Structure 1
Amino acid sequence: MRRRRAGVVVLLAGVLAGLLTACVNEPVPQPSEPVPTAQPDPTKLVVAVGDIPAGFNPHLLAHLSPVTTALATLVLPSVFRPDADGAMQIDQTIATSAEVVATEPFTVSYELNLEASWSDNAPIAAEDFVYLWERMREEPGVADDAGYRLITDVRSRAGGKAVDVVFAHAYPAWKELFTDLLPAHLLKDAPGSWVGATTGGLPASGGPFRIGTIDRDRGLVELTRNDLYWDAPSVLDVLVLQRLDDAQTVAGLASGDVDIALTEADADIRTALGGLQPAPHTQPAPQPVVVQLGMRGDGGPLADPRARQGVAALVDREAVRARAAPDALPADAFGLAPSEPGYQATAPQGAPARPDPVVAGQLLAQAGWSRDLTTGRWAVAGAPVRLVLGAAAERPDDLRVARIVAEQLDQAGIDVDIVAPGAVALFGQEAVPATPPSPPPTTPPAPTPSTAPGGPSGVATPAAPTPEPSTAPPSSSTTSANPTAPGTVEPDLMVLPRTTGGDPGTELASDYGCPSPSAAVPFPPRPPTGFCFAALQPALDDLVSPTPRADAALQVERVLWQQLPALPLFQPVTLVISTSAADAATGVGPGPLRTGPVTGAQEWRPPNG
């Protein structure tokens, strides 16, 4: 018995020894390393643009540009957006409903989408409505402010996700309001944020894209998918807006590095595109802007409307357009733009719509001007007339227009000094720094006949070179202007954009009306040209009323051609260029006038993707 037990013990000992030996000899298992997987390249589409603006606030005249329009369309929330026909349709991603709920007082209620939020997770809410309303009635140099000035109160409900907007009277165009909302929680308490925080970009997104990078040195704006967007995400990961000149744009289209281009429509780019095979698709896209020659109406040598009419009669508008923007549409009205349905020219047959030196001389003489028969130069109150013409330093197209106008007036005997302050100052301040512009190009492009649908254009070229207008800071003793701070001047003329594509009555009332003081805003901002004609205000008020007279707009147009706060010049046109691959992937087109060619870019696919 003892022998059996001993054998069992020996046997078990041997088995255990074998198992231990096996454990010692086997390598210890190690945790497996993750196998790296290749990350797909981000889907990207590149759009060439002509320039990057100085800022991106879509409500500021100073920041108006095709790039600003594109960013506002893709990044900022709007309660209503224009459809393909320009009619305003509610954007359900922002507001689930918006309707008139009372007539006494006229009240509109908005129910906001509970999911709608900024890209920092703050809700899109009533405070954003309040912020835009307050800024639009208090800040200078804004576009389309007349509707906001009719609002008497903005009330928050439902924790900020419902808004009641109360008006002084019924306002039929209320759907035009509260587009391109800005993030109040980031801007409202920051001094100067209305301009400063939008100069380097937009601080938060409420749309399918957000701003990833802005590099002015490289001329680059990079939009990336907004990963916190609550609705359908953008198909593209990245949309790049790249500043390129004509040669770089054509080379990029040929190589495939550029998919779409939004360029100035001119003969040079069309000629360069002719060498590409296959030929790209080109489409004209009028911009929601009309360029004007603003005329100061509240002082200086042009305070008399006869002086404004006389100076305007010396300006050859067709020659300005032919040299500065050959494919632009000639503008002959103060309200609708040439590309808008229902547009008709309201300009008189002769001066000031057409150049007429004889009529100009008569009008200037009636305004108290006199012309030296020896030198041919004009004077007023015994001193030579020396007009100050302002053009924004960061808007090269405006500077081009200013130089052409100054050249024409110089030939007619009027001295002109060009100043180039920043656009925010020029359109928002009475007195601006007397900053001379950068030297003009040494070999300006030759005038080119227009191919715009507005009709053939004559090209006026001087028979001989003329002296370049002075760009030295003007002397206050020769401008007949009110005294100003040292180093500043009050422009008599300015190259001034005005917005189009919205409600025509609101635009006329915004551009040419007299803002009324109120308890909330006792000192409303001065219009860019200082124009205020009290006798016209009742007709402008009628245009934003529920039942405007049928002839109200034409009556306003007639008075404006007589008073001439500005001389309409042209509506710029963008050329939309796309490769065949980009056409198939995006279906890009001119888009609605107000939102432009990038409308719907969140649904674009990458070419060859």
Structure 2
Amino acid sequence: MRRLGGVLAAAILCGTAAACTNAPPPPLVPKSEAPVITTTGPKVTEIVVGVDDVAGGYNPHSLAAQSPITTALSSLLLPSAFRAGADGTPQLDRNLMVSAKVTKAEPFTVTYTIRKDASWSDSAPIAAEDFYYLWQRMRSEPGVVDPAGYRLINNISAREGGKVVEVAFGKPFPGWRSLFANLLPAHLLKDAPGTWSNVLSSNFPATAGPFAVRSLDEPRGEVILERSDRYWEVPTTLDRVVIRRATHTAMAESLSKGDNQAALLRADASDVNLLKAIQDLTTKPVPRNEVAQVLLRPVSEQLKDVKTRKAIVAALDRDALIASGTQSGPSAQFRADSYVVPPSRTGYQATITGNTLNAAVSDQLLTEVGYAKNAQGSWEKGGKALKLRIAAPEKVEPYVVIANRMKAQLAERGIQAEVVTPNAEDLFSKQLLEKDIDLAVVPRVDAGDSAAGLASAYGCVGDAPDGATPSPQNPAGFCDPAIQSDIDAALNGKVLLSDALARIEPQIQAQAVALPLFQVVDLLGVLPTVSGVDAGAPLAGVLSGAPEWRRRDK
């Protein structure tokens, strides 16, 4: 009966049904109009660049964040009033600015006019508040790059909805074009929780350039930049730039296969040979905006006496320190024999000659300040050993390698030392403001104006204007009133920088507060499948030219 009921039910359902046949149902869309389904989309035009690391932070104004990836991202994602031209001189960036010029001599005033259509990626306008925010941070925060020029500013005012910015200085500053590069989105940062150390620590909350961040994956070691739909100027030809972390061997393999089109790495002699073996690959050095140096800090209790500092310099083999840091790579050709101007910049003049090592002089000076060697061959005074604390930023090369080589050199001369490697942010924003660090192996960063670099590295801290937070001291903790007038004269344009340096550098050398070593230089490798990928403008970084890059094989 159950079987019979099922048959009857089927008959009722079919009723008039021609539909209860084995024939397929008619198509809903005529065959000629059916959509064609494909499994691939349009080809994405991209260039992949291999790098040593993509780790943050990414604040270009922080000494702790200096790296090729920081330079690369800031050059593409942050707006600047001026950018380095082909010869290194600042050129007005007309993608952002209408004009920028000195409009008043007393007080020295510069007026900036920003394009009305220039905006951040969240549609907020780029305006005076971005200038004001950067000024406030640069004149008061510790561990920033070349703050001297910003500290000359007395006031910033705005008109025309913030698109016209008037910057009034307390004193003339011929290097004013070096200011307000890599502006930050003040509307998102000024009231954000946290401190200056959190700014761009892991991402970019807003950008303003030809590219935007599609993804920034530190653990995976990859940054993907895509053409920005919100960019108000001519869009880039490339759809995408991929920056990918890899070992040097992996980079070479990716270049050989054509998976990467370029690589930027801190190379030693073996890496140079590794890339030379790749067919059709073009290589060239790319100087960074940093010089590896040793600071001998007069604020340290043990190094407050100039004779002790001179004794330490004489105990160091500068040539060997340079060799250990460069490893016969591209940096070896950029020995830094000046206390202020990097070797790759126009105006560089070598003022340091010969090696520093002189064991007899070192021993004599230590004896003169009251030290004597004990039975173990170590220097001590009043029963207390001379033991120095050498600091280098954690996991940042070549600084840690150099610090350890220094420790070994000092041990050979009977001078005890320990190497400490705090994280970079803690070192630059805290520890170098205190007296616990005797020697520091750190970069001297060039932000574009050598007079400001001189004042930032060796100048005394002035009084803070209008009750602002007092300016932090320079990383060496050095102040010599005898040379301050020359530093101020160079900063304010009263004398030529070259004339000022001719007087100042011998005095810096006599004070034994710094020992320059070499400019840090990366190696760029480029395949012929791309065009436009070059070293970029001086100290601007390889990716500064990415808007002009092209693929030749697509």
* Pair in the same fold by TM > 0.5: yes
Secondary structure of 1:535 counterpart? helix
Matches within 5 A, 1:3-152: 35-36=36-37, 38-152=40-154
1:36 positional shift? 4.7
CA shift, 1:322, in A, is 1.3
Distance 1:29 1:423, change over 3 A: closer
SS at match of 1:178: coil
Kept in 2: contact 1:316–1:354 (CA 8 A): yes
> 2:18 maps to what in 1?
none
Q: Is the alpha carbon distance of 1:193 and 1:45 closer, same or farther for their aligned partners in structure 2, counting shifts above 3 Å?
A: farther
Question: Partner of 2:543 in structure 1?
Answer: 598
Matching residue within 173, 191, 200 for 2:202: 200
Write out per-residue CA displacement over residues 539-569 of structure 1, whole angstroms, 9 at most, x where no aligned residue.
Answer: 1101111321562111111111011222111
Aligned structure 1 segments of 4 or more residues deviating by more than 3 angstroms: 27-38
**Structure 2: distance between partners of 1:348 and 1:391:** 26
Letter in 1 for 2:543: V
Amino acid at match of 1:425: D
Contact 1:402–1:495, Cα closer than 8 Å, also in 2: yes
Counterpart amino acid of residue 311 in structure 1: I
What is the SS of the residue equivalent to 1:572?
strand
CA distance in 1, matches of 2:471, 2:402: 30
Alpha-carbon separation, structure 2, partners of 1:551 and 1:117: 42
Please report how far the alpha carbon of residue 121 of structure 1 lies from its aligned counterpart in structure 2 after TM superposition.
0.6
Q: Deviations over 1:132-162 (max 9, x none)?
A: 0000001000111111000000001111111
Instruction: Report the Cα offset of residue 96 of structure 1.
Output: 0.3
TM-superposed CA distance for 1:396, in Å, is: 3.5
Contact 2:146–2:446 (Cα < 8 Å) also in 1: no
What's the counterpart of residue 431 of structure 2?
430
- For the residue of structure 2 that corresponds to 1:85, the secondary structure is coil
Corresponding residue number in structure 2 for 1:241: 243
Deviations 1:46-98 (A, max 9, x none): 10111224311111111111111111111110011111111211111111011
The whole-number CA distance in structure 2 between the counterparts of 1:367 and 1:500 is 36
Give yes or no for contact 2:150–2:179 (8 Å, CA) kept in 1. Answer: yes
**Aligned with residue 527 of structure 1, among 474, 479, 482:** 474
User: Secondary structure of 2:112's partner?
Assistant: strand
What residue is the counterpart of 1:574 in the other structure?
522
Equivalent position amino acid for 1:100 in 2: V
Equivalent residue, structure 2, for 1:563 = 511
* AA aligned opposite 2:390: L
Map of 2:220 onto structure 1: 218
- 1:315-464 equivalences under 5 Å are 315-325=316-326, 326-327=328-329, 328=331, 329-347=334-352, 353-372=355-374, 374-430=375-431
CA distance in 2, matches of 1:593, 1:298: 34
Q: Compared with structure 1, are the counterparts of its residues 553 and 33 closer, same or farther at alpha carbon in structure 2 (3 Å cutoff)?
A: same
Partner of 2:534: 589
Tell me how far apart the structure 1 counterparts of residues 213 and 264 of structure 2 sit (CA, whole Å): 19
- Aligned-partner SS, 1:110: strand
- Greater Cα offset, 251-260 or 196-205: 196-205
Task: Provide the C-alpha distance between the structure 1 equivalents of 2:513 and 2:203, rounded to a whole number of angstroms.
Answer: 33
Residues 76, 207 of structure 1: 8 Å contact kept: yes
Q: How far apart are residue 348 of structure 1 and its match?
A: 5.2
Partner secondary structure for residue 589 of structure 1: coil
Alignment size in residue pairs: 521
Q: Does residue 552 of the first structure (1) align with residue 497 of the second (2)?
A: no
Segments of 5+ residues of structure 2 without an aligned counterpart are 1-25
- Cα separation, partners in 2 of 1:531 and 1:192, compared to 1, 3 Å: farther
SS in structure 2 of the partner of residue 181 of structure 1? coil
d(CA) in 2 for partners of 1:379, 1:194? 41
Deviates more, 1:327-336 or 1:119-128: 327-336
Partner of residue 445, structure 1: none
- The two structures have a TM-score, normalised by structure 2, of 0.90
Q: Distance in 2 between matches of 1:377 and 1:355?
A: 18
Match of 1:475 in 2: none
Q: CA deviation at 1:107?
A: 0.5
Preserved contact between residue 109 and residue 169 of structure 2 (Cα < 8 Å): yes
How far apart, CA to CA, are the structure 1 residues paired with 2:104 and 2:459? 27
**Aligned counterparts of 1:95 and 1:536: Cα–Cα separation in 2:** 37
What letter corresponds to residue 298 of structure 1 in structure 2? V
CA–CA separation in structure 1 for the residues paired with 2:91 and 2:397: 35
| CA distance in 2: counterparts of 1:268 and 1:382, whole angstroms | 47
Q: Which of these two proteins has the greater Rg computed from alpha carbons?
A: 1
- Give 1:302 shift: 0.9
User: Which amino acid in the other structure matches residue 454 of structure 2?
Assistant: L
Larger deviation: 155-164 or 514-523?
514-523
In 2, Cα distance between the equivalents of 1:422 and 1:163? Answer: 37
Q: Is 2:449 the counterpart of 1:503?
A: yes
Could you say if the C-alpha distance between residues 211 and 368 of structure 1 is closer, same or farther in structure 2, counting changes exceeding 3 Å? Answer: farther
C-alpha spacing 1:304/1:119, structure 2 compared with 1 (3 Å): same
Give the Å deviation of 1:318. 1.4
2:537 counterpart SS class: coil
Q: Secondary structure at the match of 1:321?
A: helix
Relative to structure 1, the CA distance from residue 28 to residue 551 in structure 2 (aligned partners, 3 Å threshold; closer, same or farther) is: closer
SS at match of 1:130: helix
> Identity over aligned residues, as a percent?
40
Q: Residues 449-479 of structure 1, C-alpha deviation per residue, up to 9 Å, x if partnerless?
A: xxxxxxxxxxxxxxxxxxxxxxxxxxxxxxx
Q: 2:532·2:545 contact (CA, 8 Å) conserved in 1?
A: no
Q: Work out whether residues 267 and 523 of structure 2, in 8 Å CA contact, stay in contact via their aligned partners in 1.
A: yes
Measure how far apart 1:28 and its partner are: 11
Task: Return 5+ residue gaps in structure 1 as ranges.
Answer: 1-26, 433-480, 483-489
**Equivalent residue runs for 1:258-273 within 5 Å:** 258-273=260-275
Q: Is the 8 A contact 1:428 1:528 kept in 2?
A: no
Given residue 553 of structure 2, which amino acid in structure 1 is its aligned partner? N
3-state SS, counterpart of residue 569 of structure 1: strand
Distance verdict in 2 for CA 1:316–1:112, change over 3 Å: same
Contact 2:140/2:469 (8 A) holds in 1: no
Return the alpha-carbon distance in structure 2 between the equivalents of residues 55 and 381 of structure 1.
45
